[in-house]
Structure 1
Amino acid sequence: MVYCNSAGRYITITNDKYTLQTSVFVNLCEVEVYVCSVGTFGPDCASLCYCQSPGDRCHPVTGQCPYGCAVEFTGTSCNIKQPRFGYNDRYICHCDEGYCDTNTGVCSSRKCEKGWYGSSCQKENVAFNKNTWQSSTYSDGNGRRYSHYAVDGDTNHSKAYNTCTHTADGRTNASWGVDLGQSYPVANIKIYARDLHITNRFKGFRLFVDERNQTNQSPCRPEDNYDSKNKPNGFVVNCNTTGKYITITNDKTNEPTNSVYVNLCEVEVYVCSVGTFGPDCTSLCYCQSSGDRCDPVTGQCPYRCADGFTGTSCNIKCTDRNCRAPSACHINNGECKAGCHPGWMGDYCTQKCQPGFYGNQCIQSCDNRKCSRQNTECNNINGSCNGDCLPGYKGLDCSRIFIMSPC
């Protein structure tokens, strides 16, 4: 058995040593080259790896996938199934440690997997580890400043840091870009630049979000004369557009070199995961298809709600309504047409009465009850007193006058 741990297409066996017959031979009965099938690794190929693409081969020893894990899997070898949350386990947790709440997805450790952010870890940096390019590449004694340095997850931006992208000297224009892999609704982009050059090298900075590569048709940020005194490093550009390609360009000369640069330490493109929306991607939307993206601001689904859900954002469960009478429930008429049961309010009858009120249409005041104990709890449905009534009153809410018959 010959162990190689190498990659290749051709196997060649040679010999240049004479035998007793003063000749050189290659005399083989069989040559078998063992390879683990796609999706397996280990000494006997018995371990499984779930890579991003079904055709990706993971490392034969470690199981590490070349471009990341498939959806629902995590770990070095991409074989740990991620926990889920929400109704019918519709959403994937992205906690780095601990567990996630089965209803909201909030992580007990408050730590997210790399590339994920937000209080429930549902805000994804879709630029992380994606394919990048730049118009030229700077090089010095510390090495070359490659374009992928801006999507490696390292936001260090100290002035002497050498793992930031950097275009070459002597250019009259410069550009950098990333292919997100698919079109996303891009809400905002966070940019880290080197502290040493954040002021002068961002004069002329422009940012584009396009559906086609390097077309620079849709400027998200027009030309900017960046002022580091007014903005912190790690500044956010708000876009609210849709696109697959992010391009950053510059055509303003940098003093004292009289060259134009794009010099970036990290570019993060934030997108809510499928089925979430809102500023921090913490609100849930249950669309007809589990792969449908709702509007990142309103939560409105592109087609209709999933069965059993209603509301503008498709996040009101039909069985959670408290309608007075049976009422159809879908995206167009999920409201309770005949009103709510006592103690409930709103178009869908999912909100309890405002504090201090109870009963039918939530118009009865808790202050009008005649409870024997002050500041007693007021049930939203019937206003019941937690104790006895004052003399002369009866009923759950002590609102009925009780007249005793004379002996």
Structure 2
Amino acid sequence: MPNVAVLCCCIFAVLHFTSNVLAYADLAVDGRYTNLTLYGGQCAWAYGGQTADLEWRVDLGEVKRIHHVFIHYADGNSVWDKNKSFPKYFLGFSVYISNTTNKEDGVLCFRDTIYTRATISNPVNISCHYHGRYVIYYNKMTHPPDPEDYPSKIGMYLCEVEVYGCPILGFYGENCSIPSPQSYFCHIIEGTDLGCLPGYYGENCSLSCPQNCFCHITEGTCLGCLPGYMGLNCNEKCGENTYGAECKQSCGRCSNGEPCHHVDGSCPSGCNAGAYGVKCKQSCGNCSSGDPCHHVDGSCPSGCNAGAYGVTCKQPCGDCYNGDPCNDVDGTCPSGCNAGAYGVTCKQSCGDCYNGDPCNDVDGTCPSGCDAGVYNGDKCDIECPEGLYGPNCQNKCNVNCAVSARCNIKTGKCIGGCQPGWKNSTCDEKCGNNTYGVECRQSCGNCSNGEPCHHVDGSCQFGCEAGVYGKKCDIECPAGRYGRRCYETCGDQCQGCNRFSGVCDLGCLPGWTGQRCDEPCTFGNNEFDQVIYMRLFSNFFFYFND
């Protein structure tokens, strides 16, 4: 491998993101990675949702010949292994090389499709033998269903990204010492032709394009203007404080409002007060007494105002005890942290310690354990995974929750209520009092011997009481039927057959008697016969007296 130089140390980095948290994108190219915690002042990080795209990129200033990319991930200053939380957020990442800020305009250098928590290493070196100006780190959740090791939400925790290669395009090989032809890109190690440089075309890239044009690689026709130029014939320099490709980039705050260089955006006479960098696009930090920062590197000559620290005074102090200012160099808090914060710079938040106790302000440990809904050993800073709740996440959500085993991580209360047939906040009790179904709102009854109905569907396990039938014993016997399951048939002579007992509530038809009107009458034993007898006897008596 050739002795290649670091191309991106201290060059401004931009984090392009669609996440809800962002912290110091430029810390991933500051040359420091001795403290690999999120709040140690040396790492860039972002955290997104289930559908977030996270993208970080570094601008090398111009097109460079790249050899490899070194990436060091956050590890919390602990051993990197599959049981820790950080490795899963590294899975599935990609590295692109592009001449624009759009990764789709460049080439895919690497995409992880094979690593697991157990096999991914930290740090990692990515071989990347391409030319480009921007190195782009990208991560996105894969298309569901995701592999088992992948996190439910995407995160990016970069402590250092170093890009190695030959700093001058015209050289390759050992020590980047072998001159390459001026008209084409060559392989950084072998020197083989990888395509024409802008401005050349034809066989062996030996012909020059029309001035200031990108031209067709074989025909030489103008396809567009080189960076810094515009117009039909590409003979006009960018104007109106613009520069670069298609004149789409805006100049920075150049001194006295001077226009920037039309090609690279540099400011020929330096920056206005409050800005720094070659292009004067970076703002000074919180320098002491409002002093201007250094126009090249942004450093504050007299230190920082209270509340800021670092070389450029851009990093805010943490939650120092009693509002004390932090050290303006390294951000340490001289008297420790306020309750709820911990770490050397007091930028890390305590977890949910038991009963709201403050954590240790040095290492974040909880003296009396965790409150309900969290775990993670002695720091209590990770929420219970789905399906668990309570202190140290020791309890399982009830399978009878509306969405099975989903509940409040602190109380166990089921999210969305209960499945049919269950009640209470944790869905641990069956419906009772002759109720069943969703929220126990449906009524039941009439089961045999007063047995309760089934708590889910209202069915009667041992059949129905007399007078009703059906799975739920909720249908009355039809006319002419009575008894258990309505199996018994009322007699034809019965009027108003009782569906429970079969008794004829409205009496019998003439000639019949009994509770169910199932006994035929005999002479003298019913009201009709007695009336006829009395009439006959009365007529006979009257005749006798004549």
| Bin of the TM-score, shorter chain as denominator length | under 0.3
TM-score, length-normalised on structure 1?
Answer: 0.25
TM-score normalised according to structure 2 size: 0.20
